[in-house]
Amino acid sequence: MKTTYIGEHLLPGQFGHFFAVLAFVASIVATVSYWVSVRTEDEVKRTSWRLQGRWAFIVQAASVFAVFGCLYYALYSHYFEYKYIWRNSSRDLPVSLLLSSFWSDQEGSFMLWSIWQSILGLVLIRTTKKWEAPVMTMVSFAQVCLSSMLIGIFILNYKVGSNPFLLLRHAPENQGLPWVNSPNYLSFIKDGNGLNLSLQNYWMVIHPPVLFLGFASTIVPFAFAFAGLWTREYKDWIKPALPWALFSAAVLGLGIMMGAAWAYESLTFGGYWAWDPVENASLVPWLTLVAGIHTLLAFKSSGHALKATFFFFFITFILILYSTFLTRSGVLGDTSVHSFTDLGMSGQLTFFLFAFIPAFAMLIARRKEIPTVHKEESTYSREFWLFIGSLILMIAAIQITFTTSIPVWNKLINGLGIKKLLNLTNDIAPPSDGVFHYNKIQIWVAIVIGILTAIVQFLKYKDTPRGEFTRKLMIPTALALVATVLAGWLGKVNYDAYGAGFLMAIYLMMFASFYAIIANLAYIWIGQKGKLKAAGASIAHIGFGMVLLGIVISSSKKETISIDRMKMLDGGFFGANSKENPRENLMLPRNFPVQMGEYHVTYAGDSMPAGEAKTYYLVRYQRKDPASGKPLESFTLHPDAFLSNKGEQTLTPNPDSKHYWNKDIFTYITAVPLKEDNSDTATYQPHVVAQGDSIFFSNGYMIMEGLDPQPKTRNYKAEPNDLAVGATLKVYTKNNDQYNLKPIYLIRDSSYEYNIPDTVAPLSLYVRFSKILPKEKKVELEVKESTVFRDYIVMKAFIFPFINVLWIGVIVTVIGFIMSMFQRLRQNKEKPAVKKPLTREKTV
């Protein structure tokens, strides 16, 4: 008898799965139709097949949009009967973050990619004219691969893809559980699993769409290059491909740096870039894409580097697919903070990767047909140094990819039996200091590329008169040298964490940054005669120089100001496996100002807004005049943290920053008392002292300076019948810090004795005034050093100087790319291409 399940909403899932399968089938039809259109010689049949491919692609695009609508509707409605909805959302999730939960998992991210690729395909259908069939063949085939990730059906006993509309009770991991067969199982599911805590940030609403648009757009230069190779139209594809390549570089670069901004605001590695494997996987294709753009420009003006352009555009999309494999196959394991776990699609991801490798085979097979200029380039020509710069970017990409792929190399070595054959006992170990491993190579790449962006535009294609070239660069070179010396001197750049050699590299990178900015400003004035419309490349280079300058200054002058001078967190506070340096974390007891750099910092409390699962901490900063003690500046930061996740005692913090024009003060929580701890075994120890006597404790000593017959403290309010006296104590620590204490002894209503203790919270020191001994002219004080704090936070704070130079540089770079793209589009309209059909039989 068939079980009827109560409360299930099956219609969105049924519609969604239907459209997912329809998108898969339609993309296959589109691919075959466009492919036949290119292959056929008959004009009528060619047009018919092209129209069929066009309509098939439109159907698949509409189906992809329908899948998106069905899944978002299920998310918005909290239909937890669907595994994807239950796993990635919850009822308390703000509507603004529902989109984050949409693409927080594998299926949603593939769908986002497919949506963008569908939109790009529709634009290409409308704009590519004679290139439509060969270009759309590759775009449609890419859609076949992407849509296969979402169908979740068995083909020849092999499960293809993962269905985002899979019911929770149908999930393999839930089979055999008692609740699966219960008709009212939904009554037991009160809420979803919730969104990953690190993704609950507004950047995760806007960063993934931009990044995946960048990923999707790399298929377009690939498709144009393949179309040119396939149809043997080796030159004509360059003109329509260049604006797309510029668009792709702009969007992909922006998406990568949005991820850096998310890391800066949401992750706690203390910055915007940590050479995380996922960061690397997205950066490498951008490097090769930029290399391809520059070799393409060299070819357009000199005829050189066409083969290199084919290679760079091919390898860019292949590297996008490889980065997808790295981040979604589970191979990275715990090496990245934001990689996906394996959903059993490693085989499909591998196929996706290798399905486009034949482009290289065709490139090799037809290499002799590709037009080549056999004359050697002059070393004073622009095309020569454009090619050299592209090779350097490729070397950077190789180094980053090789180290990032260490988990892949280990799997290959183990899987192929090489480890056993060579009698190896250990896997290849990743570098112990990953940041330095990359920095020591990439800093030299940045230096060379920065200098090249300064000088290349002053070179002419084919050859440049030596004297003219030198004369134009003299002033920018001198100004860059002066700016470097002044910045190093006034900014006191003395970063020697990795030795004197690295400090020299820092100064060279600073020079390259200033050089790129100043020389390109000069070129706009000299070479472009101040015409900004034609200066997109120079503006992009200026932005790139600003990015380099922001990196070098913010990294070399980054300062940790949360120094634990009192060593309160020594002794394994963070645990044996923690990477936190306890000396770079400061404990702040509530309402107790603590000196931190030039600031006094106070933990003033916390709050948990209604409807949110995180706690906001109020951290007040105050900077005073050292001479007068007069407040010069005050502000409050609100770093937040998720204190627990479904009952587990955890801490997932999000930083907060105070932004100035020349620096950021970056603050985040590293520890809080997550649960009540009643393990304090410390007891009060009595001390009988007279005026001037000392009492020693583990962190220093205190002196009893005298008695105050009219005491006033924050803990004591006098009443009319009180007889009170306070002991005035001066506390000195081993670190030369000083504190004042005034415990109070009082008799109220002539009969009741009280003592009101006073504390030094940072020292866990408690003192109470227990007795007056008039005959001995002494008093009894009781001292306790507590082992437990219950009202504090531990935080870390950095100063990032001139970090805004980096962010502004990113914006300027993107603007430069977009300006160049529109400039190329205008040029293409001025000289329209001749409309003629393309077939694979076309020869040079």
Backbone Cα Rg of the chain: 33
Q: 804 lies in a domain?
A: no
Q: How far apart are CA 171 and CA 153, in angstroms?
A: 13
CA distances from 207 to 72, 204, 421, 816 (A): 18, 5, 45, 20
The residue that leads in pLDDT, 58 or 495, is 58
Q: How far apart are CA 200 and CA 653, in angstroms?
A: 11
DSSP one-letter string for 355-369: TTTHHHHHHHHTTTT
Q: How many domains does the chain have?
A: 5
E strand or H helix that includes residue 321 = helix 306-328
Which letter does DSSP use for residue 167 in this model? B
Q: pLDDT tens digit string along 618-640?
A: 999 999 888 887 889 999 999 98
More confident residue, 586 or 425: 586
Give the pLDDT of residue 617. Answer: 92
555: nearest Cα among 598, 612, 509: 509
Q: What percent of the chain has pLDDT over 90?
A: 48
Q: What is the pLDDT of residue 765?
A: 86
- Least confident stretch, 126-140, 332-346, 541-555: 332-346
**Residue range 213-236, pLDDT digits in tens:** 999 999 999 999 999 999 999 999
Nearest residue to 794 (alpha-carbon basis) of 635, 578, 584: 584
Q: Which helix (H) or strand (E) holds 624?
A: strand 615-624
**Which structural domain range is residue 723 located in?**
685-787
Report the percent of the chain where pLDDT is more than 70. 90
CA-based nearest residue to 201, from 662, 781, 641: 641
| Residues 598, 481 share a domain | no
Residues facing residue 200 across a β-bridge: none
pLDDT: is 255 or 468 the higher one? 255
Residue 51 lies in a domain: yes
Q: What is the pLDDT of residues 775-824, one digit of tens each?
A: 888 999 999 987 665 678 899 998 989 999 999 999 999 999 999 999 99
Q: How far apart are CA 481 and CA 469, in angstroms?
A: 18
Last residue within a domain, chosen from 160, 183, 199: 199
Select the more confidently predicted residue: 138 or 625: 138
Task: Please check whether residues 663 and 702 belong to one and the same domain.
Answer: no
Residue 337 confidence (pLDDT) above 90 = no
| The predicted structure's pLDDT at residue 336 | 54
- Judge whether residue 167 has pLDDT over 60: yes
Q: What is the mean pLDDT of residues 297-322?
A: 94
Which region holds residue 777: left if phi is over 0, alpha if psi is between -120 and 50, else beta? left
Distances from the Cα of 719 to the Cα of 679, 712, 724, 746, angstroms: 36, 12, 10, 11
Distance CA 242, CA 796 (A): 46
Query: What is the DSSP annotation of 549-564?
Result: HHHHHHHHS-EE----
Q: What rounded mean pLDDT belongs to the chain?
A: 86
pLDDT exceeds cutoff 80 at 485: yes
In this structure, the answer to whether residues 210 and 149 fall within a common structural domain is no
Task: Determine contact, residues 691/719, Cβ cutoff 8 Å.
Answer: no
How far apart (Å, rounded) are the C-alpha atoms in residues 231 and 234?
8
Tell me 377's DSSP state.
P
Judge whether 387 lies within some domain: yes
Residues 308 and 194 occupy one common structural domain = no
Q: What local confidence, expressed as pLDDT, does residue 176 receive?
A: 61
Q: What is the pLDDT of residues 525-575, one digit of tens each?
A: 887 777 888 899 999 999 999 999 999 988 888 888 998 877 777 767 777
Residue where the block lists tokens 């900063």: 621
Q: Is residue 56 part of a domain?
A: yes
Same domain, 530 and 607: no
For residue 434, what pLDDT is reported?
A: 80
Identify whether residues 187 and 232 lie together within a single domain. no
CA-nearest of 345, 440, 445 to 395 is 445
337 in a domain, yes or no? yes
pLDDT score, position 116:
97
Give the tens place of pLDDT for each residue, 436-482: 889 889 999 999 999 999 999 899 998 888 888 888 899 999 999 99
CA distance 563 to 584: 5
Check residue 233 and report its DSSP letter. Answer: -
Look at residues 125, 145, 131 and name the one whose alpha carbon lies nearest to residue 52. 125
Residue 649, both tokens: 């005692």
Q: Is there a single domain that holds both residue 263 and residue 345? A: yes
Mean pLDDT for 733-741 is 81
263 and 395: one domain?
yes
- Which amino acid does the sequence have at 73? Y
Find the angle CA(623)-CA(629)-CA(631) to the nearest 5 degrees.
40
Strand 722-733 relative to strand 738-741, pairing: antiparallel
Predicted local confidence at residue 123, as pLDDT: 97
Q: Read off the pLDDT of each residue in 739-759 and give the average, rounded to a whole number.
A: 85
Are both 154 and 262 inside the same structural domain? no
Find the mean pLDDT for residues 195-203: 78
Residue 306 falls inside a structural domain = yes
- Residue 820 counted as domain residue: yes
- Summarised one tens digit per residue, pLDDT across range 265-287 is 777 666 788 888 888 989 999 99
The alpha carbon of 427 is separated from its chain's Cα centroid by a whole number of angstroms, namely 28
CA-nearest of 288, 477, 294, 293 to 384 is 294
Same domain for 471 and 529 = yes
Whole-number Å distance between alpha carbons of 244 and 229:
18
Helix-helix angle 106-127:43-76, to 10 degrees:
140
pLDDT band at 342 (very low <50, low <70, confident <90, very high): low
Question: CB burial class (10 A; 0-12, 13-18, 19+) of residue 433?
Answer: exposed
Residue type, 776: E
Residues 205 and 132 in one domain: no
Residues 225, 156 share a domain: no
Q: What is the pLDDT of residues 351-370, one digit of tens each?
A: 888 899 999 999 999 999 99
**Residue whose C-alpha is closest to residue 484's, from 503, 501, 505, 507:** 507
- Residue 243's CB: how many other CB atoms inside 10 A? 20
Residue 422 counted as domain residue: no
Q: What is the pLDDT of residue 503?
A: 82
Answer yes or no: are the C-beta atoms of 224 and 834 closer than 8 Å: no
Average pLDDT, stretch 676-681? 58
> What CA–CA distance (Å, rounded) separates 377 from 141?
38
Q: Which residue has the higher pLDDT, 579 or 263?
A: 263
Report pLDDT digits (tens) over 696-723: 888 789 999 999 988 888 778 788 888 8
